[in-house]
């Protein structure tokens, strides 16, 4: 092993935990700082007192192709705790829901609604995007323009436009590049997975393992500043919290880009400007429990144009049974929004007033008396927005400030953010720290 270094990691989300594991296994000393009272970041969960399993605050599942996440779980020997049930996904089209999570279903839908020519265009674009590894030419054009041209307006308006508008808003239709849509179609599967006990159970198990191996995890400890250490300590950095200041050989930050630009004032302006230039959407999710099942399906993709007040209705207990949640039937009503959208300033009660009436569109028998409890979760940093030629905008993990590394959702491009890529970028950041450590010996 190379000389032991003391590394600070900011953020005990999936990226921070994955980085901590690799650094610890290589014999380095690791301190993890986490602002929240629990580990897990955006993938964290919560648990009502009568639930056996935790529930992700924001809906989460793995894809069968999530090789970094599943590889990590395999390495930890926990593969037997990963479940891949068979939930069903539907899209809303002209007043009805259609299953659309297999090629057969998608072809049936396209043929019946649009005819054989559109079916061929749909099939060819789908096969092309699934098979081609070349995303670079696709990032030069917007998803809106590419799909209109190749899939045609009817298919685009029925299937892809609602997704793009829902995720990024109308205002970003002429911004988001086609590599983003390529990545979703290329890398995702219809099989969806989770961990026994929920994502939080996985996170807690990993955090416990790290602690048992000597990693210090400081929960409820927001880092307020990262600075170059005093002269004479070349390459070392200080990490400040409200309580103390400590010096490290290297620091990996997994915060949002905007926060990173503020946390590290010694970063050169060119790097900070590239952090500030990265755009993203926020998300709000209202979790509602019912005393009975609302629909047969897990994921309902909706269209804003159809008058739904949110982008997705996810009946979680059609994925993981209500028996794990004390018999509660759980719905997520979620949306991606700019952070100045009024939903961010509305209370849970106000959002319930806006959202609950629409549940009748999923099941006409729905009544308010079916609702048991509700929770509201919000985040300002939920979904990076990738504009045309975005690969030129991505700041490197190794920052120009010696010893400081930055690993966030905004840098996993061309892939869409997800816990799988959080593992991958956390591992990459750890590898860079270790390469630097051994080159200095």
The yes or no reply on residue 302 touching ligand FAD (CB under 6 A) is no
The yes or no reply on residue 282 touching ligand FAD (CB under 6 A) is no
Among 8, 10, 207, 320, binds ligand FAD (CB under 6 A): 10
Among 28-36, 78-86, 295-303, 359-367, the segment contacting ligand FAD (CB under 6 A): 28-36
Among 217, 419, 427, 428, binds ligand FAD (CB under 6 A): 419
The yes or no reply on residue 145 touching ligand FAD (CB under 6 A) is no
Structure tokens at 85: 């049930």
Indicate the residue among 14 and 106 with the shorter CB distance to ligand FAD.
14
Q: Which residue from 66, 63, 103 is spatially nearest to 84, judged by alpha carbons?
A: 63
Indicate the residue among 158 and 320 with the shorter CB distance to ligand FAD.
320
Shortest Å distance, C-beta 61 to ligand FAD: 5
CA 289 to chain centre: 23
Q: Which residue from 217, 216, 214, 247 is spatially nearest to 26, judged by alpha carbons?
A: 214
Residues 6+ apart with CB under 8 A from 262: none
Q: Which residue from 377, 358, 164 is spatially nearest to 283, judged by alpha carbons?
A: 377
Shortest Å distance, C-beta 17 to ligand FAD: 7
Shortest Å distance, C-beta 112 to ligand FAD: 29
The Cα 97–Cα 91 span in angstroms is 5
Shortest Å distance, C-beta 284 to ligand FAD: 9
DSSP secondary structure of 2-24: PPP-EEEEE--SHHHHHHHHHHH
Shortest Å distance, C-beta 82 to ligand FAD: 13
The yes or no reply on residue 410 touching ligand FAD (CB under 6 A) is no
Indicate the residue among 19 and 158 with the shorter CB distance to ligand FAD.
19
Mark 377-389 as b/e (b = at least 16 C-beta within 10 Å). bbbebbbbbbbbe
Token pair 């997994």 in the structure block, residue = 254
Q: Which of residues 344-403 bind ligand FAD (CB under 6 A)?
A: 379, 382
Among 82-90, 154-162, 200-208, 252-260, the segment contacting ligand FAD (CB under 6 A): 252-260
Shortest Å distance, C-beta 406 to ligand FAD: 11
SS3 63: strand
Indicate the residue among 42 and 138 with the shorter CB distance to ligand FAD.
42
Helices (H), 174-306: 178-187, 199-212, 257-263, 269-276
Indicate the residue among 141 and 258 with the shorter CB distance to ligand FAD.
258
DSSP secondary structure of 89-153: EEEEETTEEEE-SSHHHHHHHHHHHH-HHHHHHHHHHHHHHHH----TGGGGSBHHHHHHHHT-H
Q: Which positions from 42 to 81 touch ligand FAD by CB under 6 A, shown as an x/- string?
A: xx--------------xxxxx-------------------
Query: 228 forms bridges with which residues in the sheet?
Result: 237
Q: Which of residues 314-343 bind ligand FAD (CB under 6 A)?
A: 334
What sign does the dihedral 222-224-228-230 (CA atoms) show?
A: negative
Indicate the residue among 151 and 283 with the shorter CB distance to ligand FAD.
283
Eight-class DSSP state of 87: -
The answer to whether the CB of 196 falls within 8 A of the CB of 45 is no
Shortest Å distance, C-beta 119 to ligand FAD: 29
Structure tokens at 226: 């990262």
The yes or no reply on residue 169 touching ligand FAD (CB under 6 A) is no
Shortest Å distance, C-beta 311 to ligand FAD: 10
Q: Which of residues 205-224 bind ligand FAD (CB under 6 A)?
A: 222-223
Query: 379 forms bridges with which residues in the sheet?
Result: 283
Among 30-38, 102-110, 112-120, 344-352, the segment contacting ligand FAD (CB under 6 A): 30-38
The yes or no reply on residue 36 touching ligand FAD (CB under 6 A) is yes
The yes or no reply on residue 417 touching ligand FAD (CB under 6 A) is yes
Shortest Å distance, C-beta 280 to ligand FAD: 10
Q: Which residue from 205, 276, 256, 253 is spatially nearest to 426, judged by alpha carbons?
A: 253
The yes or no reply on residue 271 touching ligand FAD (CB under 6 A) is no
Query: 82 forms bridges with which residues in the sheet?
Result: 195
**Binding footprint of ligand FAD on the chain (CB under 6 A):** 10-16, 33-36, 41-43, 58-62, 222-223, 254-255, 259, 263, 283, 285, 334, 379, 382, 408-409, 417-420, 422
């Amino acid at each position: 092993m190379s000389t032991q270094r003391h590394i600070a990691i900011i953020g005990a989300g999936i990226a921070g935990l994955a980085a901590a594991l690799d650094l610890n296994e290589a014999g380095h000393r690791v301190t993890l700082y986490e602002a929240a009272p629990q580990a897990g970041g955006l993938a964290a969960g919560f648990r009502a007192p009568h639930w056996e399993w935790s529930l992700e605050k924001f809906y989460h599942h793995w894809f069968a192709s999530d090789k970094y996440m599943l590889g990590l779980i395999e390495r930890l020997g926990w593969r037997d705790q990963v479940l891949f049930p068979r939930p069903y996904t539907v899209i809303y089209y002209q007043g009805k829901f259609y299953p659309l999570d297999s090629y057969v279903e998608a072809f049936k839908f396209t043929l019946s609604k649009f005819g054989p020519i559109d079916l061929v265009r749909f099939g060819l674009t789908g096969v092309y995007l699934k098979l081609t590894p070349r995303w670079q030419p696709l990032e030069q054009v917007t998803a809106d323009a590419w799909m209109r041209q190749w899939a045609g307006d009817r298919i685009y308006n029925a299937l892809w436009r609602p997704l793009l508008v829902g995720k990024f808003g109308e205002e970003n239709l002429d911004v988001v590049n086609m590599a983003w849509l390529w990545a979703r179609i290329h890398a995702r599967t219809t099989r969806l997975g989770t961990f026994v006990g929920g994502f939080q159970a996985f996170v807690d198990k990993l955090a416990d393992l790290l602690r048992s191996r000597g990693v210090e995890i400081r929960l409820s400890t927001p880092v307020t500043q990262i600075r170059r250490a005093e002269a004479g300590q070349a390459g070392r950095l200080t990490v400040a919290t409200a309580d103390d200041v400590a010096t490290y050989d290297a620091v990996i930050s997994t915060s949002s880009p905007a926060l990173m630009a503020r946390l590290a004032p010694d970063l050169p302006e060119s790097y900070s400007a590239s952090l500030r230039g990265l755009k993203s959407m926020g998300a709000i999710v209202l979790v509602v429990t019912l005393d009975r099942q609302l629909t047969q399906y897990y994921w309902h993709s909706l269209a804003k144009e159809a008058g739904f007040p949110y982008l997705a209705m996810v009946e979680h207990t059609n994925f993981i049974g209500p028996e794990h949640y004390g018999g509660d039937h759980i719905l997520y009503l979620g949306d991606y929004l700019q952070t100045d959208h009024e939903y961010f300033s509305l209370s849970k009660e106000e959002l319930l007033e806006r959202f609950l009436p629409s549940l009748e569109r999923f099941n006409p028998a729905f009544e308010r008396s079916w609702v048991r409890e509700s929770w509201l979760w919000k985040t300002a940093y939920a979904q990076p927005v990738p504009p045309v030629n975005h690969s030129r905008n991505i700041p490197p993990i190794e920052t120009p400030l010696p010893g400081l590394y930055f690993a966030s959702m905004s840098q996993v491009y061309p892939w869409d953010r997800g816990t799988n890529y959080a593992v991958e970028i956390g591992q990459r950041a750890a590898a860079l720290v270790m390469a630097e450590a051994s080159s200095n010996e």
